[in-house]
Amino acid sequence: MVKHYLEFEKPLVEMEREIENLKRFSRGNPLYFREQLKSLEEKLHRLQKEIFSNLTGWQITQLARHIDRPKASHYVQWMCEGFVELHGDRNYGDDPAILGGMARFNGRPVTIIAHQKGADAKEMAYRNFGMPHPEGYRKALRLMKLAELFKKPVLTMIDTPGAFPGVGAEERGQAEAIARNLRMMVVLRTPIITVVIGEGGSGGALAIGVGDRILMLEHSIYSVISPEGCAAILWKDGEKGKEVAAESLKLTAADLSRLGVIDEIVKEPLGGAHRDAEGMARILKEVVERHLKELEKMDEEELLSLRYEKFRRMGTFIDDGGT
């Protein structure tokens, strides 16, 4: 049973309860209820399919932020072996909002860098809800340089509302830390795979997102500004306009694929990653392995020039000529 559910998940949860009750009730006489149970389960499957094939931008935003949605640490645990967490930026401190370290992915060592939102209230507070300070981005950069030095591929996972807006963060150079990561990632001499696993919040997300491959889980989002923030600016009311903004911003995996920003949408189990977290990790592991194999075949020069071209091409405009 799920712990938390969203408004549009309610009919599903109710039907699941019904099934659960029927199962309990029928324990003494399973044959008698078998037909009824079967039809209910089919109905549930149909309903789930129906709801999840017509999600609005705002509903996907809610799924991307779902409290039960698997966090980066879940994928590290289920996709990798022998994770050793590494801490600190060697400069100011350690930022728990960024999880980093070395692990084995299908046998080979990789460097992991990810936003970690936290799975429960306590961890969320400790992780600052996955909103990094500059030291988080500098830790990320330090680990990327480590990966480059020892020729290990980098796997980053994006899941953040954005970089933390605070006095200390500004004083210690939030903008500089993000900017430097962008510049360094473009020329990092090792393969980088980026997966948006939940919420991709603006520059704070991009700061670990300049990869050779950018993948997005089906119900994750990636946007220049949150729907609430966009609505607050355009309609002076973040609450009322957020649903319109979530559509306008084109922030879903399908949108980003259409806009040519991402390389692949990773299918989620029916009902979303939180319904089958282990299944999600299995699916993602396969996809990452496939991309990693492709990247490992390239030599450094090819890798870097393709990465440059990838970002060089981003954007749309009309060129009416002239120098």
Partner 1 sequence: MTWFKKDEEQKEKREEPKPSDHLWVKCNSCNEIIYRKVIERNLQVCPKCNYHFQIPAQRRIDCVADPGTFIEYDVNLISTDPLEFKDSKRYPSRVKESQEKTGHKDAVICGEARIEGQPAMIGIFEFNFMGGSLGSVVGEKITRLIERAIEKKSGVIIFCASGGARMQEGILSLMQMAKTSAALAKLHEARIPYISVLTDPTTGGVSASIAMLGDVIIAEPKAMIGFAGPRVIKETIRAELPEGFQRAEYLLDHGMVDLIVERKDLRHTLASLLEMLKLES
- Which member of 143, 208, 222, 283 binds partner 1 (CB under 8 A)? 222
Distance in angstroms (rounded) separating the CA atoms of residues 12 and 18: 10
- Closest approach of Cβ 78 to partner 1, in Å? 28
- Reference 104, options 84, 121, 126; nearest CA is 84
* Backbone dihedral angles phi then psi of residue 305, each to the nearest 5 degrees: -75, -35
27/236 with CB nearer partner 1: 236
Cβ proximity to partner 1, 96 vs 241, nearer residue: 241
Nearer to partner 1, 210 or 283 (CB): 210
Residue 263 to residue 212: CA distance in whole angstroms:
9
Residue located via tokens 């209820």? 33
- 27-46: which residues touch partner 1 (CB under 8 A)? none
Q: How many Cβ atoms from other residues are within 10 Å of residue 311's Cβ?
A: 14
Min dist. Cβ of residue 33 to partner 1 (A)? 49
Q: Which of 88, 235, 243, 269 binds partner 1 (CB under 8 A)?
A: 235
State the nearest-atom distance from the C-beta of 293 to partner 1, in Å. Answer: 25
> Which one, 47 or 233, has the nearer CB to partner 1?
233
Minimum distance of partner 1 from residue 179's CB (angstroms) = 4
Region of 61 (left: φ > 0; alpha: ψ -120 to 50; beta: rest) is alpha
CA–CA dist 144, 42 (Å, integer): 48
**H or E stretch covering 134:** helix 134-149
The answer to whether the beta carbons of residues 230 and 245 sit under 8 Å apart is yes
Q: How far apart are CA 310 and CA 229, in angstroms?
A: 28
Query: Does the protein bind partner 1 through residue 233 (CB under 8 A)?
Result: yes
Residue 122 tokens, joined: 């306590």
Tell me the window of 138-146, 269-277, 292-300, 304-312 that interacts with partner 1 (CB under 8 A).
304-312
Nearer to partner 1, 53 or 323 (CB): 323
Best CA proximity match to 139, nearest among 172, 105, 108 = 172
- Of 244, 247, 285, the residue nearest 155 (C-alpha): 285
In angstroms, give the least distance from the CB of 244 to partner 1.
6
Of the pair 251, 292, the CB lying nearest partner 1 is at 251
Amino acid found at 112: I
Residue whose entry in the numeric block shows the structure tokens 């696993």: 197
Binding mask 168-207 for partner 1 (x = CB under 8 A): -xxxxxxxx-xxx-xxx-xx--------------xx--xx
* Residue 311 is a binding residue for partner 1 (CB under 8 A): yes
Nearer to partner 1 (CB atom), residue 216 or residue 280: 216
The beta strands (E) that lie in 22-167 are given as 80-85, 98-105, 108-115, 154-160
Size, binding site for partner 1 by CB under 8 A: 58
CB 10, min distance to partner 1, A? 28
The yes or no reply on residue 224 touching partner 1 (CB under 8 A) is yes
Q: How far apart are CA 48 and CA 295, in angstroms?
A: 36
Nearer to partner 1, 114 or 249 (CB): 249
Residue ranges binding partner 1 (CB under 8 A): 163-167, 169-176, 178-180, 182-184, 186-187, 202-203, 206-207, 209-210, 222-225, 230, 233-235, 244, 247-251, 255-256, 259, 261, 308, 311-312, 314-323
